[in-house]
Each structure stands twice: as structure tokens, then as C-alpha cells.
């Protein structure tokens, strides 16, 4: 079977040089390996994703000379598949609802920080500080009946206890040079959100389901997602899904060494194209010739 690669942007802004690097690297790997290249639109967040950004993704990638298989998988069209996976995790007793608002969470974190430093996840966000795991079924039912918004969280300690140690084969490298067989550390993320009242999935859950359903054999993506791979491997182990190979690549940074952002016009592919920059120049700028 030919290897399968994918580029999976979220249509919540215009693509920038970092996306061009990731997409071209994926496309190149697929060509070199005689593999397939898929484009996936990660649009589960209706508050941030827009059809014009999605359209721009197609235009910008085509302009770079990239071609992909049709039909494109759009996550918003597959919510029942994510809901089914979530239900399996719920049936294992690994998911619980938490009802705190953002403001309440911030207050709890400040309190915990005052008692001693409360841990942050690898992205720098505080771990979930609440005690919702201890609510009784009756309390949960009552809060839900009152129409309270909630997040569905993975009981990380129970999930880790269930699968034991998991690892992945890193073909690229992590931010600290990690490479080869890499032991996952999902507990560093705490009780991650897997879904919300209004959305039956999250980035972590849908990416794992889609990579498995699409038969992705090598995930090529930026080092900013290296640590998230620990959560992905844990979910794959819980759901009995195969582990792809992972190749995390360096991030393209701006002149000051900052990560590129979708809101910075200076490195946006559309803006560069409008200024008359050619796609060959883009490849040159990101070190792909």
C-alpha cells in the first residue's frame, strides 16, 4: 500500500509561509515515496472558520503547485464519526463533564498559583484546576438539566492507567532534538477537553479519528504540535487505532525569531502573491528549492 500523507489546515485565517513550508514538505514527501497526498480542512470551530478562508486555502495551495486528491475531507461534515468515538471513550468511563466558566477557571488557577506554582501544559496553559471529576451522576444530571454549558474532559490518570506507556516513532525531531522512539507524556496535558456541549469533538479527537479513517501513515507537521502527539498516541491506544509515523519539522520564523501568525500580513501567502512574489520565490524564502 502506498504511504499516505496529509496537510490539515484550519480555515481560520490566510495561510502563511509556515503553512507553505509544511504543505510543500508533505507534498514532496508523498511524491518521493510514491505515496498519496490528501488535503483535510479542520473546520470544527464554527466561530473561527470561514468559507472564504477555506477557498483561499485551495487557491494558495494550487498557486504553490500542489495537487491533492478529491473529495477533500471537511471535518464539519463528519461530526457523527467523532461523536461515536467520544461515546466509546465515555463507555470506558474515561470522560466527565466540567461546568466551570473561563472566569471561574482563571480564579481557581490564581488560587492554586498562590499556594505554589500550578502546572502548565506544554503550550503554557494551566492544567484544569477544577474538581468536576468528583461530581456525582446526580449532580451532573442536575447541572445539565439546568442548561449549563460544559466541556467533556478526558480523565487523564484513568486513561494512562488503562493503556500504560505509549510511544511513537519520530522521523523528524522535537523542539529539544527528540528523535526516534519517543515516549509519550500525555499526563503533562492534564484532563484535556475532548468535546463541548455544542461541539461533539475537539482538535485532539478529530485529528486522531481522521488520520486513522484516511489511512494516514506519516504525519508531517510543525514542531509546535510535537507535544500534542502524546495526547494523540494515547487516544489512538484507547480507541485501538494504528499509530502513524510522525515527522515534526522546524517552524518558519519571522525576522525576530517569532512563530508566524495568521494575522501577520507580511508573511501571508495571499499578500505576498498580490505584491507580485512568485511561488518559486516563496520556495526559495523557506529554504525549499
Residues binding ligand GLU (CB under 6 A): 8-10, 42, 207, 221, 225
Tell me the helix, strand and coil percentages in the chain, rounded to 5. 45, 15, 40
The residue among 86 and 209 lying less far from ligand GLU, judged by its C-beta, is 209
In whole angstroms, the minimum distance from the beta carbon of 42 to ligand GLU comes to: 4
Phi-psi region of 147 (alpha: psi -120 to 50; beta: other; left: phi over 0): left
The residue among 45 and 187 lying less far from ligand GLU, judged by its C-beta, is 45
Residues 6+ apart with CB under 8 A from 251: 18, 222, 223, 224, 259, 260
How big is the CA angle at 165 (ends 162 and 163), to the nearest 5 degrees?
A: 20
**Structural contact between residues 95 and 89, judged by C-beta atoms closer than 8 angstroms:** yes
Full 3-state SS string of 232-283: HHHHHHHHCCCCCEEEEECCCECCCCCECCCCCHHHEHHHHHHCCCCHHHHH
The residue among 6 and 153 lying less far from ligand GLU, judged by its C-beta, is 6
In whole angstroms, the minimum distance from the beta carbon of 185 to ligand GLU comes to: 18
How many beta carbons lie within 10 A of that of residue 11, not counting itself? 23
The residue among 9 and 172 lying less far from ligand GLU, judged by its C-beta, is 9
C-alpha distances (whole Å) from 188 to each of 11, 23, 127, 229, 266 are 28, 29, 8, 12, 35
Phi, psi of 186 (to 5 degrees): -65, -25
In whole angstroms, the minimum distance from the beta carbon of 59 to ligand GLU comes to: 17
The residue among 10 and 279 lying less far from ligand GLU, judged by its C-beta, is 10
In whole angstroms, the minimum distance from the beta carbon of 282 to ligand GLU comes to: 18
Chain length of the chain: 289
The residue among 90 and 214 lying less far from ligand GLU, judged by its C-beta, is 214
CA distance between the termini of the chain: 29
The residue among 206 and 279 lying less far from ligand GLU, judged by its C-beta, is 206
In whole angstroms, the minimum distance from the beta carbon of 9 to ligand GLU comes to: 5
In whole angstroms, the minimum distance from the beta carbon of 280 to ligand GLU comes to: 25
* 193 sits in which H/E element: strand 193-196
CA nearest 235: which of 214, 204, 280, 257? 204
Full 3-state SS string of 124-142: CCECCCCCHHHCCHHHHHH
In whole angstroms, the minimum distance from the beta carbon of 194 to ligand GLU comes to: 16
In whole angstroms, the minimum distance from the beta carbon of 144 to ligand GLU comes to: 30
The residue among 94 and 207 lying less far from ligand GLU, judged by its C-beta, is 207
Amino acid at each position: 500500500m502506498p504511504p499516505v500523507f496529509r496537510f490539515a489546515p484550519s480555515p481560520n485565517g490566510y495561510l502563511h509561509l509556515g503553512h507553505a513550508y509544511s504543505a510543500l514538505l508533505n507534498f514532496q514527501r508523498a511524491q518521493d515515496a510514491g505515496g498519496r497526498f490528501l488535503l483535510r480542512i479542520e473546520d470544527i470551530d464554527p466561530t473561527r472558520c470561514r468559507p472564504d478562508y477555506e477557498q483561499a486555502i485551495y487557491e494558495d495551495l494550487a498557486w504553490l503547485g500542489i495537487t491533492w486528491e478529491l473529495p477533500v475531507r471537511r471535518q464539519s461534515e463528519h461530526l457523527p464519526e467523532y461523536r461515536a468515538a467520544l461515546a466509546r471513550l465515555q463507555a470506558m468511563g474515561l470522560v466527565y463533564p466540567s461546568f466551570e466558566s473561563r472566569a471561574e477557571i482563571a480564579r481557581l488557577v490564581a488560587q492554586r498559583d498562590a499556594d505554589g506554582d500550578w502546572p502548565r501544559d506544554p503550550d503554557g496553559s494551566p492544567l484544569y484546576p477544577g474538581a468536576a471529576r468528583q461530581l456525582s451522576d446526580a449532580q451532573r444530571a442536575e447541572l445539565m438539566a439546568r442548561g449549563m454549558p460544559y466541556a467533556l474532559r478526558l480523565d487523564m490518570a484513568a486513561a494512562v492507567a488503562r493503556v500504560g506507556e505509549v510511544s511513537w516513532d519520530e522521523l523528524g525531531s522535537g523542539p529539544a532534538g527528540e528523535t526516534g522512539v519517543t515516549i509519550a507524556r500525555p499526563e503533562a496535558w492534564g484532563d484535556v477537553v475532548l468535546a463541548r456541549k455544542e461541539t461533539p469533538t475537539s482538535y485532539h479527537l478529530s485529528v486522531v479519528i481522521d488520520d486513522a479513517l484516511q489511512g494516514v501513515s506519516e504525519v508531517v507537521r510543525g514542531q509546535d504540535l510535537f507535544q500534542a502527539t502524546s495526547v494523540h498516541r494515547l487516544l489512538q491506544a484507547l480507541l485501538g487505532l494504528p499509530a502513524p509515523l510522525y515527522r515534526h519539522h522546524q517552524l518558519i520564523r519571522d525576522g525576530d525569531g517569532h512563530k508566524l501568525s495568521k494575522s501577520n500580513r507580511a508573511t501571508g501567502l495571499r499578500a505576498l502573491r498580490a505584491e507580485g512574489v512568485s511561488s518559486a520565490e516563496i520556495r526559495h524564502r523557506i529554504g525549499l528549492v
